[in-house]
Structure 1
Amino acid sequence: MQFQALLDSVPLSILFLMFVLSAMLISEAGYRVGHWWQRETPEEKEGPTNMIVGSLLGLLAFMLAVTMGMSSDRFDTRRAMTLAEANSIGTTYMRAGYLAEPAATQSRTLLSEYAPLRVVSKNPDPNDIIAGIARSQEIHTELWSIAEELARENPNSPLIALYIHSLNETIDLHETRVTAGIYARLPITVFILLLATFVLTLGMVGYSAGLTGRRSPPTAVVLIVVLGGVLSLLVDLDRPAQGLVIVNQQPLIDLLEQINTQTLSE
């Protein structure tokens, strides 16, 4: 978690520039080592260096594809959970009308307070997230207490049973969404292994160019920039509410508008 917190604290543009500059230095270092080695041992043949470089590039492409799949799956899960939670809160709010007064008004008031807490703003303050989760859990307790009392008074009411079912789903989706947004991140091991593969591959590309004494700086720059862009996209997808690619909160925003409209009409 400390590594992820450190990675999340770095802006995406800075992270991209750091990777590009570091990759250029690694490639240049590999070139100089290869050139020095060829000069010191001119009688030796190059060996299977090009084949090894090709294998490393293939392995890098495979790891990028796997990691991209993992990141996109987590992003899709967060997006699906947002829509599911909006639908669940909306259903619970409507079914709260089945309840007798004052439980109906109390429940809808709490749900009106609860819905805005579920909207995640872009680049949120971590303290605001913690406070929002804590208040959400308090509202869960209050809503469940009201439902429990009504269930005891009307144990055979199908309408109350429908409301409790929706409320239970809303509470469950809270924990599911928190887990998907905060804890379901790419494993640190994957990031470390991916970075190590980047370093070794770019170093070997430069080393191979140094052995032959021929290199194309524009080609190397394009390769590094493209790899930097892919790596930045991976990091961006893994950040729940930061960067350029974030989960659209429109389902919850639409729900808030519906609740406000219904509240004004009442």
Structure 2
Amino acid sequence: MFTEIFNRTDAIVLTVVLFFSMLLISWFGNRVRKLVDQRLPVSDADGIKGLEGGMLGLLAFVLAITFGISANKYERNRDVIIAEANAIGTAVLRADLYPDTIRQAFRIDFEQYVEKRIRFYTTGADVQTIIQAKKEAAVISDRIWKRAAGASKLTGMLIPSNQMIPSLNEMIDITTSIEAVQKSRVPDIILLTLGILALTSSFLAGFEAKRMVLRDWLVMTGFCLLTCLVIYVILDLGRPRRGLIRSEIGEQAMIELRQMFHP
């Protein structure tokens, strides 16, 4: 249940909630420090400062790892879209090896297939539209495959078929890789750990300060803001269909396939 809500919530909403939570818990940490100083003897704070430094180092370490995972997913998503565009483009070119009647039928099917795949990538986070575009593209790719299989049985079609069928295999198989890449994400347990570390670091920072004056709050606000900004980028990179960071280069490569049919 938590995972479903977390994944459906926009990254900006999650990071805004985290930002104010970090500020609130730092204030709470400072209040706890005042209560402790009133009831217990004041001790050397070096231990707390060392713990705070270690916690900040651990937070930075987890941020770096998580950022690397999200950036890698973004790159793989872009690369696999470009690979699909290349596979489709190769198959379209190899349709030219067939006689004009077969070639024209192939090109009509390929044009329709390209439009469905463009719709699949550019529709955003509309789940129903994504599913519909995927189903329609699968129907067209099945028609293209049957056309190629039927043409391979005709006399004199050995060379065109030997060129076309491997390209179609790659074009169809790569859709499975695309789905796997787009469904992959940073494990929820890592993101949860990241949030806990950010909150704990804020608490310790507030606890370490004997009193929070304006300068301290400015520093704390900057720390919370920068931490949440990095976490937002991590979340946004892992959600290529939502947010500000899109795989524009990959999507553009797919859109440019239209020029093969309307030069």
For normalisation by structure 2, the TM-score amounts to 0.90
Correspondence for 1:91: 90
More off after superposition, 98-107 vs 16-25? 98-107
Q: Shift of the alpha carbon at 1:157?
A: 1.4
1:170 aligns with 2:171: yes
Does structure 1 conserve the Cα–Cα contact (< 8 Å) formed by 2:71 and 2:237?
yes
Does structure 1 conserve the Cα–Cα contact (< 8 Å) formed by 2:59 and 2:198?
yes
Flag the 1:43–1:251 CA change in 2: closer, same or farther, 3 A.
closer
Correspondence for 1:25: 24
Q: Shift of the alpha carbon at 1:260?
A: 2.4
CA distance in 1, matches of 2:2, 2:42: 46
Does structure 2 conserve the Cα–Cα contact (< 8 Å) formed by 1:27 and 1:202?
yes
Mapping of 1:1-266 within 5 angstroms? Answer: 3=2, 5-46=4-45, 48-100=47-99, 102-119=101-118, 120-121=121-122, 123-153=124-154, 157-181=158-182, 183-209=183-209, 212-213=210-211, 216-248=216-248, 249-261=251-263
More off after superposition, 144-153 vs 60-69? 144-153
Flag the 1:156–1:13 CA change in 2: closer, same or farther, 3 A.
closer
Gaps of 5+ in 2: none
Deviations 1:18-56 (A, max 9, x none): 121111111111111122112210244435110000000
CA distance in 2, matches of 1:60, 1:224: 12
Counterpart residue identity of residue 158, structure 1: I
More off after superposition, 97-106 vs 3-12? 3-12
Q: Shift of the alpha carbon at 1:13?
A: 3.4
Does structure 2 conserve the Cα–Cα contact (< 8 Å) formed by 1:123 and 1:243?
no
Q: Shift of the alpha carbon at 1:5?
A: 4.8
Flag the 1:7–1:103 CA change in 2: closer, same or farther, 3 A.
farther
Does structure 1 conserve the Cα–Cα contact (< 8 Å) formed by 2:107 and 2:261?
no
Identity %: 25
Deviations 1:57-112 (A, max 9, x none): 00100110011000000000011111111111111111112224543222221110
Q: Shift of the alpha carbon at 1:167?
A: 0.7
For normalisation by structure 1, the TM-score amounts to 0.89
Q: Shift of the alpha carbon at 1:156?
A: 7.5
Gaps of 5+ in 1: 262-266
CA distance in 2, matches of 1:222, 1:7: 25
CA distance in 2, matches of 1:177, 1:222: 38
CA distance in 1, matches of 2:42, 2:14: 42
After superposition, the CA RMSD in angstroms is: 2.0
CA distance in 2, matches of 1:155, 1:52: 77
